[in-house]
Amino acid sequence: MIAGFCSLAAAELVSALVRPEAGPVTAVGGAVIDRSPTALKEFAVRHLGTGDKPALELGIVVLLAVFAMAVGVLALHHRRTGSAAVLLFGAIGAAAAVGRPEGSAPDALPSVVGAAVGAGVLFALTGRLTTAPPRPPASGSESGSGSGSGEAYRAFDRRGFVITSAVATAVSAGAGLLGRRLTSSVQAGATASRHDLVLPVPDSPAPAVPAGAGLNIRGLSPFFTPVKDFYRVDTALVVPRLDAAGWRLRIHGEGVARPLTVGLHDLLRREIIERDITLACVSNEVGGPYIGNARWLGVRLADLLREAGVRPPSAGGPADQLVARSVDGMTIGTPVEAVMDGRDAMLALGMNGEPLPFEHGFPVRMVVPGLYGYVSACKWIEDIELTTFDAYDAYWVRRSWAQQAPVKTESRIDTPRSLASPRPGTVPVAGVAWAQHRGISRVEVRVDGGKWHPARLAAADNRDTWRQWVWEWPATSGRHTLEVRATDGTGATQTGRRAGTVPDGATGWHSVEVDVS
């Protein structure tokens, strides 16, 4: 385990110099994420939520510790084989790092160096635990019990072992800490660039939110989701921290008459729009938490595309899919038609009045009203390629999710919570409903499968945001089941048919059970 620790610490130091994402634990974790079946990923999102990543990393470290002990035992008997086994693990780490979507040859370095250090330390330490068999004594009468059988004679050089392991541990701890330091100083530039970014005043501000859009009911989600509470779903074990000054976005591909490369300053000089848009994840179960509403600031993506000479399919353009690529190798495919049909598809750089947080895509991400995040909301974006749905499957599409996924009409009961026990009398049943880009026209609640009661709708902000609602329930004692359903702006009512999240979003009515007493 000491050798394993030294190995990881060395890898940490080298990964600080190469790329934090190239460290073996992160790389193997990323490879596991890339390769794990959709069902497992959905399980992790459902049961571990945002804790899925620490859980994965902990799992890898525990596995490594077990492996380290096994290799340690092996090394006692076969010193060289033990060290070779460590090198094998280095090879796994290296392969994982290079094989990530954004991986390149230098990414192997942390694992290779880490493995070499681990193998060396193991070799040195086992040398202190086993010493060479003593020369056969001159007279057989004094021989020890095992000397005649040819068995290796073992002796524990306690002093040598303790000194070697203490030195190795201390040096490695220092190296690991130095690695952490280096990483954070490299990232200091990014942090400063975010801190220094002054958000522009929008040329087209968001209309004021109507006074009645927030119902102010205890337990009800606020109309705007504070950044600190905004859900986060992505495959990044290490959040990319980009320096805004170095950020570039390239727009190219089929039907792009004038390919473009823009930096942040080019964006800031353009017409800046500000829009309220509710973002939802396709992995959100009925009643789930992966949805949030924010005020976004940025530029219209359609403006940039038009400047690049892109025409939507409806105007004869050859590309029907826009593939956004992030610095961490994520690919997200969006219909070109949706981006250019007049909705406020944005390259966003501000969220709720602050520069995008690193976790949410700093410096620039996409946001497209009406589409689930995995087909629209690329964070840490660096490239946009115009292509077709026939020619290319993006990251999640290769993992059994649908190519196209408009947000489904859904609603959620926020209060009372499941298994709450309110007093008999008037109980406000309240929540949110959403059908981005279609809007919400009606919400209804029923008790114990009875008749549907119309809920009171809060004022609508716009059709791209969720809408709050409340129904005053005359609650009577006993156990009751509350259900909700919404109707969107086209008049279509949310289906009660239960469907899971794969391939294009869950359906069904959210229900909560309460015990009125």
Q: Does 328 bind ligand MTE (CB under 6 A)?
A: yes
CA 316 vs. chain centroid, Å, equals 36
8 A C-beta contact, residue 452 and residue 444: yes
Q: Does 224 bind ligand MTE (CB under 6 A)?
A: no
Residue count, binding to ligand MTE (CB under 6 A)? 18
Pick the closer one to ligand MTE by CB: 71 or 405: 405
- Is residue 347 classed as helix, strand or coil in its secondary structure? strand
**Contacting range for ligand MTE; rule: CB under 6 A; set: 6-14, 56-64, 371-379, 451-459:** 371-379
**147: burial class by Cβ within 10 Å (0-12, 13-18, 19+)?**
middle
CB atoms within 10 A of CB 121: 26
Q: Provide the phi-psi class of 351: left if phi over 0, else alpha when psi is between -120 and 50, else beta.
A: beta
**Contacting range for ligand MTE; rule: CB under 6 A; set: 55-63, 107-115, 324-332, 504-512:** 324-332
Q: Does 380 bind ligand MTE (CB under 6 A)?
A: yes
**Contacting range for ligand MTE; rule: CB under 6 A; set: 77-85, 119-127, 212-220, 325-333:** 325-333
Per-residue binder mask for ligand MTE (CB under 6 A), 228-247, x = binder = --xxxxxx------------
8 A C-beta contact, residue 180 and residue 248: no
Pick the closer one to Mo ion by CB: 255 or 333: 333
Side chain identity, residue 402: A
Site for ligand MTE, residues 112 to 171, rule: CB under 6 A: none
**How many residues does the structure list for the chain?**
517
Side chain identity, residue 337: E
8 A C-beta contact, residue 102 and residue 30: no
8 A C-beta contact, residue 422 and residue 514: yes
C-alpha triplet 268, 270, 276: angle, nearest 5°: 80
User: Minimum CB separation from ligand MTE for residue 102, in Å?
Assistant: 10
Q: Does 330 bind ligand MTE (CB under 6 A)?
A: yes
| CA distance linking residue 15 with residue 463, whole number of Å | 46
Paired strand residues for 457: 469
Q: Does 100 bind ligand MTE (CB under 6 A)?
A: no
Binding site for Mo ion (CB under 5 A): 233, 281, 373-374
Site for ligand MTE, residues 277 to 306, rule: CB under 6 A: 279, 281
Pick the closer one to Mo ion by CB: 287 or 317: 287
Q: Which of 29, 15, 28, 215 is nearest to 117 (CA)?
A: 15
Q: What does 230 interact with, of Mo ion, ligand MTE, none (CB < 5 to 8 A by kind)?
A: ligand MTE
User: Minimum CB separation from ligand MTE for residue 472, in Å?
Assistant: 33
User: Minimum CB separation from Mo ion for residue 308, in Å?
Assistant: 27
DSSP 260-294: EEEEHHHHHTS--EEEEEEEE-TTPPTT-S-EEEE
Q: What does 377 interact with, of ligand MTE, Mo ion, none (CB < 5 to 8 A by kind)?
A: ligand MTE
Instruction: Count the alpha carbons within 13 Å of 375 in the hemisphere toward its beta carbon.
Output: 26
Pick the closer one to Mo ion by CB: 89 or 231: 231
> Which of 253, 287, 373, 416 is in the footprint of ligand MTE by CB under 6 A?
373
- Is residue 207 classed as helix, strand or coil in its secondary structure? coil
Lookup: tokens for 359: 């976790």
User: Minimum CB separation from ligand MTE for residue 233, in Å?
Assistant: 4
Q: Does 434 bind ligand MTE (CB under 6 A)?
A: no
- Is residue 115 classed as helix, strand or coil in its secondary structure? helix
User: Minimum CB separation from ligand MTE for residue 407, in Å?
Assistant: 11
8 A C-beta contact, residue 223 and residue 293: yes
> Which of 374, 466, 471, 509 is in the footprint of ligand MTE by CB under 6 A?
374
> Which of 100, 360, 408, 412 is in the footprint of ligand MTE by CB under 6 A?
360
- State the sign of the Cα–Cα–Cα–Cα dihedral 115, 116, 121, 124: positive
8 A C-beta contact, residue 301 and residue 336: no
Q: What does 409 interact with, of Mo ion, ligand MTE, none (CB < 5 to 8 A by kind)?
A: none
Pick the closer one to ligand MTE by CB: 312 or 373: 373
Q: What does 471 interact with, of ligand MTE, Mo ion, none (CB < 5 to 8 A by kind)?
A: none
Q: Does 326 bind ligand MTE (CB under 6 A)?
A: yes
Side chain identity, residue 26: T
Q: Does 180 bind ligand MTE (CB under 6 A)?
A: no
Tell me the pairing of strands 248-253 and 381-387.
parallel
Q: What does 378 interact with, of ligand MTE, Mo ion, none (CB < 5 to 8 A by kind)?
A: ligand MTE
User: Minimum CB separation from ligand MTE for residue 330, in Å?
Assistant: 4
User: Minimum CB separation from ligand MTE for residue 282, in Å?
Assistant: 7
8 A C-beta contact, residue 366 and residue 326: no
Q: Does 378 bind ligand MTE (CB under 6 A)?
A: yes
Contacts to ligand MTE by CB under 6 A: 230-235, 279, 281, 326, 328, 330, 360, 373-374, 377-380
